[in-house]
């Protein structure tokens, strides 16, 4: 994420640092030296790590998500909002490393290595951080996950603003479970609770990977539009059996995608070729990391170096050793929706002084993945999926484009349920990724979550 400092303001601060700041510091150090000595790294933290004079964190509508009163950090009065924004707002102890309270700690506390405590001295508190997140939409996403582990993230693919990012498991920051409870919980209730699964998660993609296979087939098979395939429910590749949940029969390319036919996509992967599949995945950002606050996302991994034809067949279906990161998958959707170029999601809109002066503002970055022609062809097939399979009734008024996934992870575990999609309605240029861990079918667990969250977003933008 690239942030732009307002040069004029920086210069002003430098002048003040010389003319006023140093003498103020000297005087204050003499009078408050003892108190400051208890502050960790002189960043206005007390011994417990709570921010004694930190600024506010607000959502995109100005709703307070965190603020300090009487030297105590206070969070939203809604538990749903506190839980759903936990990983974005973060904690004051730094367990949630990618959270804003850790990543933007020096801004929030008003500490500046050059100017010392200027902001705190002048305003009585540090800077405010304004997020792109909509806390009410986040609360809806939290409700719909209903305690299941996973991720719900949605962003404006034209501007890069992250509107919702809910990671589960989470906890209520106002009633944090004890370390004992978190670390020794036998049923895995708090597994990876400090991680924001949007940026730290790596999941088997299942059929959502067919978006990549589809793009590669369009790019590399010249007669793909007249290609047909007859599914018999299973096929053998190099002694490896690829199976479908049912016999799909004869289909054209678009129907193979809509039916998510594994046999057809195994055949397509072989026909497209290993090198071409790898090249398309790399174009789409596989192997790349992205900056998020002071953290970096996990890179999605497609490693076909040891793959024979049987492995390649399953890779085309999203079931080889491939692992994908949900933030990266949002950018894949962003590129398909936006003529091949992804605007990268970010969550801090700006940092301002308490009087509203903008100290820094985020400028969205972009990455060009694929051509507009390929993007449009994939988009039209994803639109067809919703029209003929998932139902426009689940996404009223949104011209939704999408792909479900049911990612097999091991023989004795229920698959992860995926939905990836975006609205093609210019009034709601929003892409969404939902992963419900061990949720079962993509259409039965993740899709209904996406449906309700997209509806909430559409209403919020109206
Ligand atoms: Zn099939």
Ligand 1 centroid distance, CA of 266 (Å): 10
Residue 71 confidence (pLDDT) above 70: yes
- The answer to which of 15-24, 113-122, 297-306 has the lowest mean pLDDT is 15-24
Ligand 1 centroid distance, CA of 264 (Å): 6
Residue 48 confidence (pLDDT) above 50: no
Find tokens 């103020």 and name the residue: 24
Q: What is the mean pLDDT of residues 123-146?
A: 94
Ligand 1 centroid distance, CA of 416 (Å): 20
pLDDT in tens, 13-25: 333 334 433 443 4
Scored b (16 or more CB within 10 A) or e, 48-85 reads eebbbbbbbbbbbeebbbbbbeeeebebbeeebbbbbb
Is 82 a member of any domain? Answer: no
Ligand 1 centroid distance, CA of 258 (Å): 11
Name the average pLDDT for the chain: 89
pLDDT at 288: 97
Ligand 1 centroid distance, CA of 400 (Å): 24
Ligand 1 centroid distance, CA of 314 (Å): 13
Residue 411 confidence (pLDDT) above 90: no
Ligand 1 centroid distance, CA of 281 (Å): 23
pLDDT at 53: 85
- Split at pLDDT 50, 70, 90, the class of 171 is very high
Ligand 1 centroid distance, CA of 254 (Å): 13
Ligand 1 centroid distance, CA of 144 (Å): 31
Residue 8 confidence (pLDDT) above 80: no
Q: Determine the Cα–Cα distance for residues 398 and 422; give it in Å rounded to an integer.
A: 8
Q: What is the mean pLDDT of residues 421-449?
A: 97
Is 263 a member of any domain? Answer: yes
Ligand 1 centroid distance, CA of 218 (Å): 19
Ligand 1 centroid distance, CA of 213 (Å): 15
pLDDT at 118: 53
Is 132 a member of any domain? Answer: no
Ligand 1 centroid distance, CA of 317 (Å): 11
pLDDT in tens, 186-232: 888 999 999 999 999 999 999 999 999 999 999 999 999 999 999 99
pLDDT at 413: 93
Ligand 1 centroid distance, CA of 232 (Å): 7
Ligand 1 centroid distance, CA of 246 (Å): 6
Cβ-contact 188, 362 below 8 angstroms: no
Ligand 1 centroid distance, CA of 195 (Å): 37
Residue 36 confidence (pLDDT) above 70: no
The residues, any chain, with a CB within 8 Å of residue 251's CB and separated by 6 or more, are 228, 229, 230, 231, 259, 261, 264
Residue 303 confidence (pLDDT) above 60: yes
Q: Determine the Cα–Cα distance for residues 385 and 363; give it in Å rounded to an integer.
A: 34
Q: What is the mean pLDDT of residues 455-459?
A: 98
Is 7 a member of any domain? Answer: no
Q: Tell me the percentage of the chain whose pLDDT exceeds 70.
A: 86
Ligand 1 centroid distance, CA of 256 (Å): 7
Q: What is the mean pLDDT of residues 133-153?
A: 98
Ligand 1 centroid distance, CA of 245 (Å): 7
Domain total of the chain = 1
Q: What pairs with residue 4 in β-bridges?
A: 361
Is 98 a member of any domain? Answer: no
Ligand 1 centroid distance, CA of 316 (Å): 13
Q: Determine the Cα–Cα distance for residues 416 and 18; give it in Å rounded to an integer.
A: 58
Cβ-contact 273, 220 below 8 angstroms: yes
Ligand 1 centroid distance, CA of 215 (Å): 19
Q: Determine the Cα–Cα distance for residues 197 and 297; give it in Å rounded to an integer.
A: 10
Residue 272 confidence (pLDDT) above 70: yes
Is 325 a member of any domain? Answer: yes
Is 169 a member of any domain? Answer: no
Nearest to 28, CA basis, from 128, 126, 122: 122
Ligand 1 centroid distance, CA of 406 (Å): 14
Scored b (16 or more CB within 10 A) or e, 440-455 reads ebbbebbbbbbbebbb
pLDDT at 382: 98
pLDDT at 115: 60
- Split at pLDDT 50, 70, 90, the class of 361 is very high
Ligand 1 centroid distance, CA of 182 (Å): 43
Residue 364 confidence (pLDDT) above 90: yes
Is 139 a member of any domain? Answer: no
pLDDT at 199: 97
Q: Tell me the percentage of the chain whose pLDDT exceeds 90.
A: 79
Residue 107 confidence (pLDDT) above 50: yes
Ligand 1 centroid distance, CA of 177 (Å): 47
- Split at pLDDT 50, 70, 90, the class of 52 is confident
Ligand 1 centroid distance, CA of 265 (Å): 9
- Domain assignment of residue 212, given as a range: 199-350+365-461
| Cα dihedral: 176, 181, 186, 188 (round 10) | 20
Residue 30 confidence (pLDDT) above 80: no
Ligand 1 centroid distance, CA of 401 (Å): 21
As separate numbers, helices (DSSP H) first and strands (DSSP E) second, the chain gives 18, 20
pTM: 0.88
Ligand 1 centroid distance, CA of 248 (Å): 5
- The answer to which of 29-43, 113-127, 220-234, 334-348 has the lowest mean pLDDT is 29-43
Ligand 1 centroid distance, CA of 203 (Å): 23
Say which CATH number the domain at 382 has. Answer: 3.40.710.10
Residue 121 confidence (pLDDT) above 80: no
pLDDT at 129: 97
């Amino acid at each position: 994420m690239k942030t732009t400092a307002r040069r004029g303001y920086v210069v002003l601060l430098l002048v003040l640092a010389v003319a006023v700041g140093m003498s103020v510091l000297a005087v204050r150090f003499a009078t408050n030296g003892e108190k400051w000595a208890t502050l960790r790294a002189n960043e206005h933290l007390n011994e417990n790590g709570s921010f004694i004079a930190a600024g506010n964190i607000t959502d995109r509508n100005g709703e307070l998500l965190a603020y300090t009163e009487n030297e105590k950090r206070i969070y939203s009065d809604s538990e749903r909002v506190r839980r759903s924004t936990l990983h974005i707002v973060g904690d004051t102890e730094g367990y949630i490393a990618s959270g804003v309270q850790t990543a933007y700690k020096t801004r929030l506390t008003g500490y500046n290595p050059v100017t010392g405590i200027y902001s705190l001295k002048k305003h009585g508190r540090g800077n405010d951080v304004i997020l792109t997140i909509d806390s009410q939409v986040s609360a809806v996403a939290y409700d719909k996950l209903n305690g299941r582990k996973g991720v719900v993230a949605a962003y404006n693919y034209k501007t890069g603003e992250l509107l919702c990012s809910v990671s589960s498991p989470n906890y209520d920051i106002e009633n944090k479970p004890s370390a004992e409870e978190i670390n020794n919980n036998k049923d895995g209730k708090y597994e990876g609770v400090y991680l924001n699964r949007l940026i730290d998660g790596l999941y088997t993609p299942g059929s959502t990977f067919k978006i990549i296979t589809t793009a590669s087939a369009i790019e590399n098979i010249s007669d793909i539009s007249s290609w047909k395939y007859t599914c018999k429910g299973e096929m053998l590749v190099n002694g490896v059996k690829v199976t479908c949940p049912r016999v799909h029969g004869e289909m054209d390319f678009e129907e193979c995608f809509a039916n998510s036919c594994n046999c057809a996509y195994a055949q397509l992967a072989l026909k497209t070729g290993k090198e071409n599949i790898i090249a398309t995945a790399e174009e789409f950002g596989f192997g790349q990391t992205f900056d998020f606050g002071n953290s970096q996302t996990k890179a999605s991994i497609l490693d076909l170096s040891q793959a024979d034809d049987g492995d390649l067949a399953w890779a085309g279906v999203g079931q080889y050793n491939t692992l994908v990161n949900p933030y990266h998958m949002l950018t894949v959707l962003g590129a398909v929706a936006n003529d091949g170029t992804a605007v990268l999601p970010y969550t801090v809109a700006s940092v301002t002084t308490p009087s509203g002066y903008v100290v820094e503002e985020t400028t969205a970055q972009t990455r060009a993945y694929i051509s507009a022609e390929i993007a449009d062809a994939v988009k039209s097939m994803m639109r067809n999926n919703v029209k003929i399979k998932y139902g426009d009734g689940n996404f009223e008024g949104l011209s939704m484009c999408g792909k479900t996934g049911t990612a097999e992870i091991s023989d004795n575990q229920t698959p992860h349920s995926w939905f990836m999609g975006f609205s093609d309605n210019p009034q709601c240029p929003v892409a969404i990724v939902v992963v419900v861990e061990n949720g079962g079918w993509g259409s039965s667990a993740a899709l209904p979550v996406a449906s309700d969250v997209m509806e909430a977003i559409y209403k919020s933008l109206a």
